């Protein structure tokens, strides 16, 4: 199973869970931590926690192994490490404070943002 299919599973699940402002940053060839970083927001700590738990379960069910989750139960910022894809789920205020998109954007790289409000 490829990193691309894992990335697609993550994107589909976040879309199904109505995540907001989904951004994917390609890291392949730029970082050894993962091939993709996905950043998204939830409206509340409850939604962030729910999205993280559902996503980890879907990743496991699809045969990608056990994803590590950091940041529960506070759920202001939850990290899901699925190997080739690292997912950061935030409450909007926390996301704007840390601004990971800017920190991880590379000169001249493509960062795709799906307009979800």
Domain coordinates in residue numbering, the chain: 3-106
Per-residue pLDDT of the chain (117 residues; tens, 9 = 90+): 577 899 999 999 999 999 999 999 998 888 888 999 999 999 999 999 999 999 999 999 999 999 999 999 899 999 999 999 999 999 999 999 988 888 776 544 444 444 443
- pTM assigned to the model: 0.86
Distance CA 17, CA 1 (A): 23
End-to-end CA distance of the chain: 31
* Domain 3-106 grouped into CATH 3.30.460.10: yes
């Amino acid at each position: 199973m490829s990193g691309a299919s894992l990335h697609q599973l993550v994107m589909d699940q976040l879309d199904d869970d109505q995540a907001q402002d989904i951004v994917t940053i390609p890291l392949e060839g730029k970082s050894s931590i993962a091939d993709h970083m996905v950043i998204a927001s939830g409206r509340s700590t409850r939604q962030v926690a729910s999205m993280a738990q559902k996503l980890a379960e879907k990743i496991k069910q699809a045969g990608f192994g056990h994803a590590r989750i950091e940041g529960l139960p506070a759920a202001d910022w939850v990290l899901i490490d699925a190997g080739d894809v690292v997912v950061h789920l935030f409450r909007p205020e926390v996301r704007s404070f840390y601004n990971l998109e800017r920190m991880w954007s590379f000169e001249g790289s493509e960062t795709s943002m799906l307009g979800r409000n």
